[in-house]
Amino acid sequence: MAPVRHPDAPAPGELLGAHYEYCFGCGGGQPHGLHLEARAGEGVSLTAEFTVAPAHQGAPGLAHGGVLTTALDETLGSLNWLLRVIAVTGRLETDFVRPVPVDTVLFLQAEVTAVSGRKIYSRATGRIGGPDGPVAVRAEALFIEVKVDHFIDNGRPEEIQAAMADPDQVRRARAFEVNP
């Protein structure tokens, strides 16, 4: 089925913000994290950016492939906020097209392509320098919708309790929008 944007989803252009302060992908509490910033797009799409820092390199002067995959996973996972569902990564296939140098801004575009029951299919492209830059990475993913119990039953109790105690309902719900 074609994906349907939830009526309460953030408006196009709106910054989604971090789902959890200590998330390596988007959280500000991770000194060497990606600090990825995503914005809602039209339909069930979004754009995101992050700057490849020296702490993100694998080969000298180049982004580590795992870091690039993390950026894609974070971007694709953020799409679920537009559907207003909690989902986890079931499968993520990444294609590395060209090296990404340190200090490069990676511009990511992602969209949900289909929804079937609890399965959410999506894809993303990462371009060097901006939306018209050369393609560096691509990914296709399958996310599986889960209940919050998935995290409560499997997460470390201290972090789960702290997230559940947050009085802000939106931040509390978004904390469990994780891609384990």
pLDDT tens-digit readout, 48-61: 999 999 999 999 99
pLDDT of residue 127: 98
Task: Residue 93: count other Cβ atoms within 10 Å of its Cβ.
Answer: 12
Can you count the helices (H) and strands (E) in the chain?
A: 4, 6
Global pTM?
0.86
SS3 (DSSP) at 59: coil
How far is it, in rounded angstroms, from Cα 177 to Cα 154?
14
Block means of pLDDT (10 residues each) for the chain, 180 residues, are 90 88 85 92 96 94 96 94 91 98 97 96 97 97 84 69 64 53
pLDDT of residue 180: 42
Structure tokens belonging to residue 138: 């691509």
Where helices occur in the chain by DSSP H, the ranges are: 65-83, 149-154, 157-164, 169-175
Structure tokens belonging to residue 120: 């959410």
List, in order, residues 6 or more apart from 59 with CB less than 8 Å away: 99
pLDDT of residue 154: 64
Task: Residue 80: count other Cβ atoms within 10 Å of its Cβ.
Answer: 22
pLDDT of residue 45: 97
